[in-house]
Amino acid sequence: MLDISFYNRPTLKVAYDLLGKTIVRNNIKATIVETEAYIGPIDKACHAYNFHKTSRNAIMFNDCGIAYIYQIYGMYYCFNIVTEEKDKPCAVLIRAIDIFSNSERASNNRYNKSMSDLSSYQLKHFSNGPGKVCMSLDLNKSHNGIKVISKDLYIEEGSLEPFDIVKSKRININYAEDAIDFLWRFYIKGNKNVSVL
DNA sequence: TTCGGGATCGACT
DNA sequence: GTCGATCCCGAAT
């Protein structure tokens, strides 16, 4: 299990290094294949830009290694891991994963159906986006603030073959002015679960 | 394969 | 009152 020292580092490094790692949640195991960095002090795309603190984003001001989960578009959730030191509001958004263990349980979380009953479309769109990640791993607002260093939810080293990493602009942050162009999104080149090419 | 609109509601102004 | 760190489905290409 990665410990708190992994998360207490510059957010861009954490976002980069999380690629290829394994996320473990209730016996479901998945490879992280796409991440985005949000760095509150300097990032207009971040909910905590310029240290702006609200009831929604307050979790980001805590010690790192915990989950920041918020609702979006009224019906979905996004899962982030808080990084860096206390009172420096930064996080990494997990945008896509590749589930490889206990996928039957994930399938019930995601579609309330068995793996064998899924269409090819459903298989292709299983966890290639932040809302889908949360559905698959059964994460919602009630999990906001839980430790990502616990038996219910943690990250461990992966076992992927060597892979290339692509840097790009982040997705759907058109309001973020100068921050729109920051290359703070990272994904595994060629992975089938990356949300947007 | 791509595009556009609807869903849905809490957070913020 | 406005809108979003999204997803899904149906229609058009």
The answer to whether A118 CB sits below 7 Å from nucleic acid chain C is: no
Q: What is the reported pLDDT for A161?
A: 84
Closest nucleotide to A57: CA versus each C1' = B11
State which residues between 57 and 116 of chain A bring their CB within 7 Å of strand B.
57, 70-71, 73-75
pLDDT tens-place string over residues A149-174: 999 999 999 988 889 999 999 999 98
Write out the residue range of the structural domain in which residue A105 sits.
4-188
Find the CATH number of the domain harbouring A161: 3.10.300.10
Q: Within a 10 A sphere around the Cβ of A191, how many other Cβ atoms?
A: 18
Does any strand B atom come closer than 7 Å to the Cβ of A47? yes
Q: What global pTM score does this model have?
A: 0.96
The answer to the question of residue A167 being in a domain is: yes
Average pLDDT over residues A115-125: 91
Is A146 among the domain residues? yes
- Which nucleotides of strand C come closer than 7 angstroms to any CB of the protein? 3-9
Distance CA A133, CA A157 (A): 19
A116 touches strand C (CB under 7 A): no
Per-residue flag: A195 CB under 7 A of strand B:
no
> Is residue A197 one of the residues assigned to a domain?
no
Asked if residue A28 belongs to a domain, the reply is yes
Contact criterion met (CB below 8 Å) for A51 and A59 = no
Classify residue A66: in a domain, yes or no: yes
pLDDT for position A1: 95
Number of domains in chain A: 1
Nucleic strand C under 7 Å from the C-beta of A81: no
Element (H, E) at A71: strand A67-72
Distance in Å, residue A121 CA to nucleotide C8 C1'? 11
Is A89's CB less than 7 Å from nucleic acid strand C?
A: no
Bridge-based pairing state of the strands A153-156 and A165-168? unpaired
Cβ contacts of residue A178 below 8 Å, gap of 6+? Answer: A44
In a domain, A52, yes or no: yes
A22-78: per-residue pLDDT in tens? 999 999 999 999 999 999 999 999 999 999 999 999 999 999 999 999 999 999 999
pLDDT value of residue A13: 98
In the 8-state DSSP scheme, what is residue A162? P
Spatial separation of the C-alpha atoms in residues A75 and A55, rounded to whole Å: 19
| Separation between Cα atoms, residue A187 and residue A190, nearest integer Å | 9
User: Residue A195 CB closer than 7 angstroms to strand C?
Assistant: yes
